[in-house]
Amino acid sequence: MRKKIVAGNWKMNTLLKDGMELAKAVEKLEKEKRSDALVIIAPPYTHLSRVNDLIDSVKLSAQNCASEESGAYTGEVSPDMLVSAGVEYVIIGHSERRSYYGEDNELLNKKTKLALSKGLKPIFCCGEVLEEREGGALFDVIREQLNVGLADLTKEDISRVVIAYEPVWAIGTGVVATPDQAQEMHKFIRDLLVDLFDKKVAENMTILYGGSCKPSNASELFANPDVDGGLIGGAALKAEDFLAIVNSY
Ligand code: PEP
């Protein structure tokens, strides 16, 4: 049985005090959840260590990490630093990192391999922009992102990776993929994993959907056989909404 996960990406939101309150509220509601999904939160870097002291069942993720181990990289945060702050997961390749900061598939592969070598579990994001979907290139785009982004990973490595399919046109737009669109792409990704690794890897892979997922649409998305949970942006900033999504299972 593959793991179900609902992960909240807080992005550049909340000051430390509010973030700590939110983490506490998520931890409290998680204890009462009616679902077996693992709950993960990804606060900003500045909050990680403090938030780690407030959570137990809820797991901690960073939103990004450096591609280098240590040294003269002003402003960067290394995987080792994240581990030392109690972080277990790291989001890699979010579309905002790809588009605003020019992170390409090769760089994301480097980050993924470094994060894995330091014991972190990557939540590796992929997704097409609207023109790519409308132009019919969507499957080629996802294939390329995963071919290159997950290159050189061993089967042991990939067993510690979570994939998040996030169509860029659905992120923060209020436009959600239909359940059929989500299922179609998740199935494509799972089939691709058979080619890249093997059937067992594909069957065990947790593939999350992300993009305007909220309490009102989560259950129909999660009802799909290849959708194993969600990566949640806006709706993760309210503990009640976030846990309502978790309880959609
Ligand atoms: C995200 O940024 O990963 C995301 C899915 O955002 P939203 O839920 O706000 O669309």
Percentage of the chain with pLDDT > 90? 99
Compute the distance between CA of residue 62 and CA of residue 90 in angstroms, rounded to an integer: 5
Cβ–ligand 1 distance for 132 under 6 Å, the answer no
Task: Give the number of the atom of ligand 1 that is nearest the alpha carbon of residue 214.
Answer: 8
Compute the distance between CA of residue 51 and CA of residue 20 in angstroms, rounded to an integer: 6
- In the set 47, 132, 166, 186, the catalytic residue is 166
Does the pLDDT of residue 118 top 90, yes or no? yes
pLDDT digits (tens, 9 = 90+) for 62-86: 999 999 999 999 999 999 999 999 9
Q: Which residue has the tokens 């277990």?
A: 88
Cα four-point dihedral sign 186, 179, 105, 70? negative
Task: Give the number of the atom of ligand 1 that is nearest the alpha carbon of residue 172.
Answer: 10
Q: What is the DSSP letter of 203?
A: H
pLDDT digits (tens, 9 = 90+) for 100-117: 999 999 999 999 999 999
Does the pLDDT of residue 249 top 90, yes or no? no
The answer to whether the pTM exceeds 0.85 is yes
Per the CB < 8 A criterion, the answer to whether 53 and 91 are in contact is no
Cβ–ligand 1 distance for 241 under 6 Å, the answer no
Q: Is 27 a catalytic residue?
A: no
- Closest by Cα among 92, 94, 95 to 108: 92
- In the set 27, 30, 47, 94, the catalytic residue is 94
pLDDT digits (tens, 9 = 90+) for 186-241: 999 999 999 999 999 999 999 999 999 999 999 999 999 999 999 999 999 999 99
Cβ–ligand 1 distance for 93 under 6 Å, the answer no
Does the pLDDT of residue 138 top 90, yes or no? yes
Compute the distance between CA of residue 202 and CA of residue 132 in angstroms, rounded to an integer: 25
Domains observed in the chain: 5-246 (3.20.20.70)
pLDDT of residue 244: 97
- Closest by Cα among 217, 223, 211, 210 to 245: 217
Does the pLDDT of residue 173 top 90, yes or no? yes
Whole-number average pLDDT of the chain: 98
pLDDT of residue 39: 98
Cβ–ligand 1 distance for 192 under 6 Å, the answer no
pLDDT of residue 1: 81
Tell me, in angstroms, the distance from the centre of ligand 1 to residue 4's CA.
18
Q: Is 47 a catalytic residue?
A: no
